[in-house]
Amino acid sequence: GKGLNKDRYHLISLGYIDDVDEVFINGVKIGFSGGFEPFYYTAWNAERVYMIPPEVLNYNGDNQIAVRVYDQGGEGGIYSGSVGILYLDDYSAKEQVFLQGVWKIKIDDDPDFAKVAYDDSNWQNVMVPSNWKTIGIFDLNDFAWYRKTFTLQPGTSTTDMTLIGGKIDDFDEIYINGVKIGETNDGKWLGSSRSFSELRVYNIPNGLLKPGKNVIAVRVEDIGDNGGIYEGPVVIMPTSEATRYARKSSWWR
């Protein structure tokens, strides 16, 4: 816990890992790259940098990091790059809520999936943002839902907040605590639709976010080829800042 700062977001950098990894901090899975069998997918050439949700860290004592590595053959292990805990510069855990990391996903379509009380514990894990090919979903041409439970730290603002929902392939509806806050669907066919290239920026109605646990659910319709929440940032921030960020073309990962 020494050197950790409650008001900052922390990242763990693990360099490059051959072939597949999943990372746990204090027993909670916070990230993975590539796919374990039966959906094996190497990620040997991807640098591992994962957001650490503030609620999993022990700021006053020891923290345990565990990395599970799967090697398909040839070289293996954490083979290059820098390893360490970093701050996410300029972003405060009191002002922004980072949602990037491990989410749940299910290929199916049911309005109950938007409900706070719905039990998604047996759903598949997926990294957000990532191409869902890495977990064995190819050319879906159908609906899938993403869900994540996130914690608002004490003192985080709940009013005049906006979700930047990353880029989603192809169409989406996003719900927070069971209420739809926005959707993007230009109604066009694969090849002519440009919805996949749009950064989702949706204002969150005041009174919807609450201190403690909240649930975000994203209904994704894929019309072919790639799919899912494939590019960040995925973050809740004050509306005044979100306008500025939405104009910036590139951002952290």
**pLDDT digit string (tens) for 116-128?**
999 999 999 999 9
* CA dist 111 → 114, 216, 218, 219 (Å): 6, 13, 11, 9
Q: State how many domains the chain has.
A: 2
Q: Return the pLDDT at 187.
A: 96
Which regions in the chain score pLDDT beneath 50? 250-253
Q: Return the pLDDT at 251.
A: 47
Same domain assignment for residues 88 and 102 = no
Neighbouring CB atoms inside 10 A of 154's CB total 9
The model's pTM is: 0.88
Q: Return the pLDDT at 248.
A: 66
Secondary element (H or E) of residue 244: helix 239-247
Same domain assignment for residues 180 and 75 = no
Token duo for residue 79: 């083979």
Same domain assignment for residues 88 and 67 = yes
Contact 212, 156 (CB under 8 A): no
CATH number at residue 208: 2.60.120.260
Same domain assignment for residues 119 and 52 = no
Same domain assignment for residues 71 and 34 = yes
Same domain assignment for residues 135 and 18 = no
Asked, for residue 1, whether it belongs to a domain, the answer is: no
Asked, for residue 3, whether it belongs to a domain, the answer is: no
Same domain assignment for residues 113 and 223 = yes
Same domain assignment for residues 24 and 79 = yes
Last-in-domain residue among 38, 70, 92: 92
Last-in-domain residue among 60, 92, 124: 92
Asked, for residue 116, whether it belongs to a domain, the answer is: yes
Ramachandran area for residue 165 (φ above 0: left; ψ -120 to 50: alpha; else beta):
alpha
Range of the structural domain that residue 63 is part of: 8-92
Rounded Cα distance, 169 and 227, in Å: 5
Same domain assignment for residues 87 and 104 = no
Rounded Cα distance, 227 and 115, in Å: 23
Asked, for residue 63, whether it belongs to a domain, the answer is: yes
